[in-house]
Amino acid sequence: MRGLWLENRKLSFKGDLPTPIPGKAEALIRMRLSGVCSTDLELERGYYPFTGVPGHEFVGEVIESPSDPSWVGKRVVGEINIACGTCAMCLSGLSRHCERRRTLGIHDWNGAFAEYLVLPLINLHAVPANISDQAAVFTEPLAAAYEILEQTHFDKEDNVLLIGAGRLGQIIAQVLQLTGCKLDVLVRHAKPRKLLAERDIRTITEPELAAKKYDVVVEATGSPAGFSLAIHSIRPGGTIIMKSTYKGAVEVNFSSLVVDEVTLIGSRCGPFEPALQILAHGQVDLLPLVEVVYPLEHGQAAFEQAALPGILKILIQP
């Protein structure tokens, strides 16, 4: 099969990769569309020593399912954590934190920037017919955004700040808007500000940022500067949700967090079913985030454009 291959921080297009073979309780999925996210770009930069086919945001069609043929022909999206099913975390219902987990396109499992991939059937979710491929490809990051609502209760009177309006921040903003909270989004560039304004989401600039005002702050930049702004903005007794991974060490003065009794919540993957329901009911509109769709053989160019400042979602189509 054709696909993108990452090795020693170098991404290349290959036309002779072996087509994966589904094992017991697994499915072979033909890719219809996949999305480039910041994690993919960081893998290329050496964030994690991954060798293989990257990519974990996708929509595809099941073409083989030896143990359950009823999946064949269905359009699907898939959860990215491949769990062992037998460790303490899995047995306690926390399979996304499996002690031996592999991660689609990130750790020890080939991903979505190829013509085919294999995933366990337990990871698959059928895509409703009224969701387009371009919308469905956002299911994984939309689920990650929805995880915030699983972890924290939002009231209509809550003052909520989102720091970061990039690829994931735009999605988080639309999810937070669904709660009816008093949402401000800290934005630095004109394009994301325009997209949020079209959704009637209020944006602010850094000089407008009030100290100790917000009940909840969602930090979605993954930068030390973003985390510093979160600490500056959170009220005593408030909650900071850390929605991006941080590369390397971050220097933090924890004194103010302790004195102000601030809660820190790490937030990673989320539930697919609510994300698909939101898409099916048209409660979010993520298509304006799509910049360009590249053919698979131009995947290197897709990565290069995705890495440019201000670029939102780049898609790859085999």
* pTM assigned to the model: 0.94
Task: pLDDT band for 144, please (50, 70, 90 cuts).
Answer: very high
| pLDDT tens by residue, 222-254 | 888 899 999 999 999 999 999 987 666 778 888
Summarised one tens digit per residue, pLDDT across range 89-98 is 999 988 889 9
- Give the list of residues 6+ apart from residue 277 with CB closer than 8 angstroms, or none: none
The beta-strand segments (E) located in 87-146 are 102-103, 116-120, 124-126
Mean pLDDT over the full length of the chain = 95
- Judge whether 159 and 231 are in contact, CB under 8 Å: no
Residue for token pair 């956002």: 138
Residue 248 has a pLDDT of: 67
Residues facing 214 on adjacent strands: 234
Going along the chain from its start, the domains and CATH numbers come out as 3-138+286-317 (3.90.180.10), 145-266 (3.40.50.720)
pLDDT tens-digit profile of 145-179?
999 999 999 999 999 999 999 999 999 999 999 99
Calpha distance 300→176 (Å, rounded) = 34
